[in-house]
Each structure stands twice: as structure tokens, then as C-alpha cells.
Amino acid sequence: MSKAGAPSVMFVCARNAVRSPMAERLWRRRFGADARAVSCGVEPAAWPDGFMIAVMSELNEDLSGFECRDLESAADAPVELVVCLAHEAERAAADFAGRRGAAYEFWPVADPARIEGVRERRLDAYRAARDAIAGRIETWPGAD
């Protein structure tokens, strides 16, 4: 366990551009800046999603400099818990957890990047994903 009282965690999604970066930052927001959290994607995007950056900035969290990572580039991070946020990443995340001897949890969150339409409709989808992840973190059994 980190000195924040939470396990070191790796959040995995498909592209490490939306859900997992939000989860990484929300974990630290909940458990403190010294909490060990990393995120990655099975097939990472070239850059983080602009709508993700926008909805996180609503919480005064700046992810504009976030760099998307793949599972192997994050493999050296200490990991006690692997949390998968996407169906399409479930097998890779579970296999990784098994190889590392880490606990594994599946928190499926719909990919807001698949929502089409006007800007506000899309932002609402990103907010819903952010809030779903935040809710899971707030009620995580290891929380105080």
C-alpha cells in the first residue's frame, strides 16, 4: 500500500486517451498526490482527447500535458491493483494483473468518444464517464 492508504493502481482502457487518464488523476485527487497511480491503453492514442481535457478542467485538473502510454511502457510501475475500464481491454488487463500477481477489478465505463452530435451532448457523455469513474473511486472498498 502507498502511504496514502490506497494500493498502487494501474488503470487500463483501450487508448489511454479518455477513461484511464481521468481515473489516474481522480485516484490521486481522492487519495492524495503521493498515491501511486498510472494509466495505460492496449493501443494508445497519439494524444489525449480534447473533450477529456475539457471535462477534467471543470474540476481544476489540468491534463493538457498528459502523454498516452501502452501497457508495456507502464509495466515497470509498482502495481498492487489493476482496474480495467473498457471491455476491449479486459483480456489484456486481466492477463497483466495475473502476471504481476496484482488484484484485478473490472469497472466498465462506456466510451464517451463514441458519442456523436453537438458539442454539449458530447461533453455530457464525457462528464458522465468522469462522474462514473469518480463514483467508483469514492466508494472503493479500500477508501477510508
Q: What is the pLDDT of residue 73?
A: 84
* CA–CA gap between residue 47 and residue 49 (Å, rounded): 7
Quote the pTM value. Answer: 0.93
Q: What is the pLDDT of residue 74?
A: 79
* CA–CA gap between residue 26 and residue 9 (Å, rounded): 12
117-135 mean pLDDT: 97
Q: What is the pLDDT of residue 67?
A: 95
pLDDT tens column, 26-83 = 999 999 989 999 999 999 999 999 999 999 999 999 999 999 999 888 778 889 999 9
Q: What value does the mean pLDDT of the chain take?
A: 93
* CA–CA gap between residue 127 and residue 110 (Å, rounded): 11
* CA–CA gap between residue 6 and residue 17 (Å, rounded): 24
DSSP states along 50-80:
HHHHHHHHTTT---TT----BTTTTTTS--S
Q: Which fold has domain 9-138?
A: Rossmann fold (3.40.50)
Instruction: List the domain boundaries for the chain.
Output: 9-138
CA-to-CA separations, 136 to 7, 15, 30, 64, 144, in angstroms, rounded: 15, 20, 11, 24, 14
Strands (E), the chain: 9-13, 37-41, 81-84, 103-106
Quote the distance between the C-alpha of residue 51 and its chain's center. 15
Q: What is the pLDDT of residue 85?
A: 98
pLDDT tens column, 67-123 = 999 988 877 888 999 999 999 999 999 999 999 999 999 999 999 999 999 999 999
**pLDDT above 90: residue 14:** yes
Residue 78 DSSP label: -
